[in-house]
Amino acid sequence: MSDEMQEILNDFLTESNEMLEVLDQRFVTLESDPTNTDLLNEIFRAMHSMKGSAGFLGFNHLVDVAHRGENILNKLRQAEMAVNPAIISVILETIDVIKAIMADIRESGTDNHVATAAIASKLDEILNGTAPSAPQASAHVEPTPAAPKVDTFTPAQEASAAPTPTLGEILVNDGLASKEQVLDALTAQQHQPEPKTPLGEILLQAKAITERALDQALHKQEKQPKPVEEDATIRVETKRLDSVMNLVGELVLGRNRLIKIGTQLEQNHEADPQVRVLSETLAQLNLVTTDLQLAVMKTRMLPIKKVFAKLPRMVRDLSQKLNKQVHLEMRGEETELDKSVADEIGDPLVHLVRNAIDHGIETPAERQAKGKQAGGQLTIAASQEGNSIVIRINDDGRGIQVEKIKEKALAKGLVSEAELATMEHREVLNLIFLPGFSTAEQVTDVSGRGVGMDVVRTNIRKINGSVDLESEPGKGSQIIIKLPLTIAIIQALMVEVERSIFAIPLSTVIEAVRISRSDIKTINGREVLHLRDRVLPLIRLAQEFDIPTDKERERFYVVVAALGDRRVGVVVDELRSQEEVVIKSIWDYLETVKGVSGATITGEGKVVLILDTSELVQNAQAWHNSGMAV
């Protein structure tokens, strides 16, 4: 295959996959709003466009399936057939077959390895009105044995595939002309030699419409938004953006270093005019670098609705499988986050939503017995709070039974009775994130809340995020996921311990307090600090990383870091500065060292380790749970 054809094929696969993602969502919306003509037209255009591209590339199996689906969609949008769940189910199945064909094309370059006979037969049954599961559909098919003109006439379909409505569509939709008159005019136009007479002119000659009606329709067509020019956007491979991001990261490090040197030169040679010019140039470089960094970050940002796109279809299929009624509401879909974060959060989100439906929301009979509405409510809301993206998943199901969690945790030996006695309500709830924990009575292919929750938390922590759980028995549960806007460049607090510098991500820092040695108390051999009404477990970085200490200090700083509602005090000698740091991965070198998430290079050119606050909090929590009766 030539490079040019390969490029066309890649574009086709990318665009088709985007369309398929949208179609899944649109069909679920259509099911709840069956008379929405605009929605039907949009779905029809997408299927039509995909069929056209597949035909050009010679993928006949794909064309065959898409064409049958398109014919049904055409009948639906022409109101010759009614939208019902049975038809939607078959068309969703068609989408799944098309996805499988796409995967086959991507892997083998052909569409011959996916069986399409079964789905083609189902689609034909619906099309002919013989599908047993869709009585409503057959009732709405036109009884006349002659093929309807719309099906046999291609230009009408071709015209409707354009993003703006055709003149014929406007005339029919606004009741200015009948469908038959417009189709007769289009047929007459089709048989004319080039240049063809405009449609409006033919209708006027046939006295099908008045001049006033034609002016009205043409004016409406002009006011329609024009399709976006194709060359207004450009596709860029993610690895190219990653490369640019890395280069900008290096530029930021170089900028930091230059500013440090410039500041020292200013202090030592204040009167030198050249140093003054250098300072001005550095200030300009600083502004440009910051703007460039923001611009590159924005190119990598995408709306979270791309991640949410697969959820409506999944919720529909799963609730049908479990005989439950679930209404899904999604908010904040325009919230943007970095592509690398979006890629990582997709699977955990799917897992949490599956668990909420399976193990959280009750069956309609159970809900009605409790005085609730038969249908459960599942809400997923995304918002930006500071430098974090917060996703909240709420369900109004049965909630999580704390006693059940305690029983399971004890039975599996994850905690002792003494530890449980000291735990707060939320700490007990968060036990479900421990490896091997499950509250499901039996493991199914859907799984219960708790199955694999440790994997969910691990994946979220991998991108410096956090996950927390709140629940009220009988009322429902809420899972809160906090994610960084980007995982490449972060604000960090630089701290010093025995002349070693460490960076603590600022997003996890609550406050920093200065204390003296006498403020530190010991409970069961563990150091704690009474800060206001809270007992704070302390971690000394010098001990954590085996840094030798010269002498016992009298005064310290404690940096209060948080993960969800849990807190830990990190004991350091000095607070240095707040800096923007570029995260460099160091897994190959320090894979076994706990509490470190990466490294950065400071303005002085030194390598500084970035602390993994979530691991530090976990360590402190483990100490806290291993016998600290507070």
pLDDT value of residue 225 = 59
Cα first-last separation, the chain: 70
Confidence of residue 391 (pLDDT cuts 50, 70, 90): very high
Q: Would the pLDDT of 142 be above 50?
A: no
* Widest pairwise Cα distance in the chain: 103
More confident residue, 153 or 179: 179
State the pLDDT at residue 355: 87
Neighbours of 563 (CB within 10 A): 22
Per-residue pLDDT, 104: 85
Can you say whether residue 109 is alpha, beta or left, with left for phi > 0 and alpha for psi between -120 and 50 degrees? left
Angle of helix 3-32 relative to helix 85-108, nearest 10 degrees, comes to: 160
Give the 3-state secondary structure percentages of the chain, helix then strand then coil, rounded to 5.
Answer: 50, 20, 30
Q: Quote the pLDDT of residue 283.
A: 92
Q: In the predicted model, what is the mean pLDDT of residues 413-417?
A: 76
Give the distance, in angstroms, between the CA of residue 298 and the centroid of all CA atoms in the same chain.
Answer: 16
The arithmetic mean of pLDDT across residues 324-328, rounded, is 90
- Looking up tokens 């091997």 gives 436
* Three-state DSSP string of 122-144: HHHHHHHCCCCCCHHHHHCCCCC
Q: Which of 74, 256, 355, 625 is catalytic?
A: 355
How would DSSP label each residue in 83-119?
Answer: --HHHHHHHHHHHHHHHHHHHHHHHHS-S-SS--HHH
State yes or no: pLDDT of 602 exceeds 50. yes
At 596 the pLDDT is: 83
> Is the per-residue pLDDT at 573 higher than 80?
yes
- DSSP-based three-state secondary structure for 233: coil
Residues 6+ apart with CB under 8 A from 174: 216, 217, 220
In this structure, of 17-26, 302-311, 327-336, the range with the lowest mean pLDDT score is 17-26
The pTM of the whole model exceeds 0.75 = no
Return the pLDDT at 281: 93
* Interval 379-398 mean pLDDT: 88
pLDDT of residue 156: 39
Is residue 623 within 8 A of residue 526, CB to CB? The reply is: yes
Over range 568-583, report the average pLDDT.
86
**Is 80 exceeded by the pLDDT of residue 284?**
yes
Spatial separation of the C-alpha atoms in residues 327 and 361, rounded to whole Å = 11
pLDDT value of residue 288: 93
Q: In degrees rounded to 5, what are phi and psi of residue 510?
A: -90, -50
Q: How far is CA 228 from CA 12, 163, 334, in A?
A: 18, 9, 20
Which segment of 65-69, 215-219, 498-502 scores lowest on mean pLDDT? 215-219
Which pair of tokens denotes residue 150? 């719309």
The CA distances from residue 289 to 252, 281, 315, in Å, are 7, 12, 44
Residues ≥6 apart with Cβ < 8 Å to 65: 94, 97, 98, 101, 116, 119, 120, 123
Stretch 27-49: mean pLDDT: 82
Give the confidence band of 232 by pLDDT, cuts at 50, 70, 90. Answer: low
Q: Is 113 in the active site?
A: no
For residue 501, give both structure tokens.
């510098």
Between 214-228, 308-322, 338-352, 513-527, the lowest mean confidence (pLDDT) is in 214-228
| Residue 446 · residue 322 · CB < 8 Å | yes
Q: Which whole number is the average pLDDT over 116-145?
A: 59
Active site residue 70: yes
SS (H, E, C) 471-486: EECCCEEEEEEEEECC
Among the listed residues 70, 169, 336, 362, the single catalytic one is: 70
- Asked if the model's pLDDT at residue 93 lies above 80, the reply is yes
* For the ranges 230-244, 316-330, 510-524, 580-594, the one whose mean pLDDT is highest: 316-330
* Residue 610 burial (10 A CB sphere; 0-12, 13-18, 19+): buried
Q: Which residue has the tokens 């690895």?
A: 239
| Euclidean distance between CA atoms 473 and 453, whole angstroms | 19
Which residue, chain included where needed, has tokens 């250098």? Answer: 278
Catalytic residue among 48, 61, 351, 359, which?
A: 48
How many C-beta atoms surround the C-beta of residue 146 within 10 A?
Answer: 7
192 contacts 205 by C-beta, under 8 angstroms: no
The whole-number pLDDT of residue 564 equals 62
Cα–Cα distance measured from residue 254 to residue 257, given in angstroms and rounded to the nearest whole number: 5
Active site residue 60: no
Instruction: Tell me the three state secondary structure of residue 257.
Output: helix
Of 96 and 229, the one with more pLDDT: 96
In this predicted model, what pLDDT tens digit does every residue of 523-563 receive, in sequence order?
A: 777 888 888 877 888 888 888 888 887 777 788 899 988 76
Among 12-26, 224-238, 517-531, 575-589, which stretch is predicted with the lowest mean pLDDT? 224-238
Q: What percent of the chain has pLDDT over 90?
A: 8
Residues 435-485 pLDDT 10s: 767 545 444 444 444 446 777 887 887 777 888 888 888 888 999 998 887
